[in-house]
């Protein structure tokens, strides 16, 4: 909306205002699987103090001396196995862009709302998309970190980054940050239906379903991060919705990084142990991930499946994330419409 108001001098450039932006933000992803792209991405990620809370004096020699010299090759290879070759990008990027397009279509009844997407690490950056929304006349922005459970390492760092950008702006947009939705009924229903749908495609029934969440160091939780309890509550509500007993459903934590103790039980150890204990059929879902990504497609659908089979397990099913499915979009739309209240 471009409005040249009568009280501006005639030579003043037109001022755009009166729109509301919705900015969907996910974690990020490298631009390619090569060493340079991987290193750039990991460097930005692993120098974030919300992610690695160690003092830079202790962490940087390890990061720059060891991690950034070895991990880019190793993780680059893992990304290659799950790269979306059609678009030459990671699936996290494909799904996030699709979610933004589908959200825009779902909000068609609100012509003043503009939907966009960004990544916390890599591109498109949060700052560049806030600027783009502002240029389109959005003087109010709903900032939606795409994490159903709150963690400082994910939600807070998205908010920090957006506010850091606002620090540099003379005419800031109003910013509303979207809270977690770990116990939202539509979210739990969508998860349950994703389980039912996937299991319906199998000719076997799992003896155990694992709800595997990304972990965080135990010390973050002990310092007051609500993440662990929110994951437990999501798991509990999902188990109830599926009508499963405690013997058939577990909450576990994956993607450990570094030497510290992380939230337990660990997904990899649990998968191994279940197989060793004679469990033959399991299914794993990742309720904390809005979109499939390296951590779900490679770490679970490839690595965990391999480890289950190697330890005597017979059937392993990965249940996809909600991604850009109708059920998944219904959840995101519900949250966005709630946060738009009073602004549209
Ligand atoms: C101490 C390190 C890390 C913390 C804490 C952490 C928390 C955390 N991460 C996600 C979601 C994702 N993480 C992803 C990849 C990833 N995570 C870490 C480290 C920590 N994450 C690293 C180093 C990486 C990169 C891959 C690797 O080197 O192993 C991804 C996938 C991105 C993709 O492009 O596919 C997601 C998503 C959550 C939800 C979370 C805390 C709750
Ligand atoms: Fe992570
Ligand atoms: Fe991982």
pLDDT value at position 3? 55
Mutate to test the pocket of ligand 1, among 49, 88, 153 (most ligand atoms within 8 A of CB): 153
pLDDT value at position 5? 58
Closest ligand to Cα 75: 1
- List the one residue out of 214, 213, 203, 239 whose CA is nearest residue 314: 203
Taken as a whole, the chain contains a residue count of: 344
Query: Span 81-97, mean pLDDT?
Result: 96
What is the distance in A from the centroid of ligand 2 to the CA of 266?
14
Spell out the domain ranges in the chain. 2-180+328-340, 185-319
What is the distance in A from the centroid of ligand 3 to the CA of 30?
14
Atom of ligand 1 lying closest to residue 288 CA? 39
> Nearest 5 degrees, angle CA 46-CA 67-CA 265?
70
User: Residues lining ligand 1, judged by CB closer than 6 Å?
Assistant: 27, 29, 42, 45, 51-52, 71, 75, 90, 92, 147, 151, 153-154, 214, 216, 227, 255, 257, 288-289, 293-295
Closest ligand to Cα 268: 3
Residues that place a CB less than 5 A from ion ligand 3: 255, 295, 299
pLDDT value at position 9? 79
Prediction ipTM score: 0.93
Sorting pLDDT into bands at 50, 70 and 90, what band is 340?
A: very high
Atom of ligand 1 lying closest to residue 149 CA? 42
pLDDT tens across 118-152, in order?
999 999 999 999 999 999 999 999 999 999 999 99
Annotation-wise, does 165 bind a ligand?
Answer: no
What is the distance in A from the centroid of ligand 3 to the CA of 310?
20
What is the distance in A from the centroid of ligand 2 to the CA of 286?
13
Atom 17 (ligand 1): residue with closest C-alpha? 255
pLDDT tens across 32-71, in order?
999 999 999 999 999 999 999 999 999 999 999 999 999 9
CATH of domain 185-319: 3.40.50.1400
Given this chain, do its domains 2-180+328-340 and 185-319 carry the same CATH topology? yes
Query: Span 175-193, mean pLDDT?
Result: 98
Atom of ligand 1 lying closest to residue 258 CA? 1
CATH of domain 2-180+328-340: 3.40.50.1400
Burial of 290 (0-12, 13-18, 19+ CB in 10 A): buried
pLDDT value at position 286? 98
What is the distance in A from the centroid of ligand 2 to the CA of 137?
34
What is the distance in A from the centroid of ligand 3 to the CA of 75?
8
Atom of ligand 1 lying closest to residue 41 CA? 25
Annotation-wise, does 247 bind a ligand?
Answer: no
């Amino acid at each position: 909306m471009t409005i040249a108001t009568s009280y501006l001098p005639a030579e003043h450039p037109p001022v755009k205002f009166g729109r509301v932006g919705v900015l969907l933000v996910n974690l990020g992803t490298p631009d390619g699987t090569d060493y340079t792209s991987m290193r750039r991405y990991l460097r930005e990620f692993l120098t974030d103090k919300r992610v690695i809370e160690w003092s830079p004096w202790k962490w940087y020699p390890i990061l720059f001396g060891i991690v950034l010299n070895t991990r880019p090759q190793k993780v680059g290879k893992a990304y290659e196995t799950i790269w979306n070759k059609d678009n030459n990008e990671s699936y996290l990027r494909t799904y996030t862009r699709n979610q933004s397009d589908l959200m825009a279509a779902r909000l068609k009844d609100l012509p003043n709302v503009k939907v966009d997407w960004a990544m916390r690490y890599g591109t498109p950056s949060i700052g560049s998309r806030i600027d783009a929304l502002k240029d389109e006349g959005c003087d109010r922005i709903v900032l939606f970190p795409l994490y159903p459970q709150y963690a400082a390492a994910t939600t807070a760092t998205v908010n920090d980054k957006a506010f850091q950008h606002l620090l540099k702006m003379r005419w800031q947009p109003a910013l509303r940050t979207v809270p977690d939705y770990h116990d939202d009924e539509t979210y739990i229903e969508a998860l349950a239906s994703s389980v039912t749908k996937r299991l319906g495609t199998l000719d076997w029934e799992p003896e155990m379903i694992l709800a595997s969440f990304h972990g965080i160091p135990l010390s973050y939780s002990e310092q007051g991060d609500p993440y662990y309890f929110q994951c437990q509550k999501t798991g509990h509500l999902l188990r109830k919705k599926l009508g499963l007993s405690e013997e058939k459903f577990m909450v576990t934590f994956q993607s450990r990084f570094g030497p510290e103790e992380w939230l337990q039980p660990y997904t990899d150890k649990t998968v191994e142990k279940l197989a060793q204990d004679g469990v033959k059929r399991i299914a794993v879902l990742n309720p904390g991930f809005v979109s499939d990504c390296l951590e779900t497609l490679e770490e679970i659908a490839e690595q965990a499946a391999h480890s289950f089979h190697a330890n005597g397990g017979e059937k392993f099913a990965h249940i996809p994330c909600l991604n850009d499915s109708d059920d998944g979009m219904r959840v995101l739309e519900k949250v966005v419409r709630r946060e738009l209240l009073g602004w549209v």
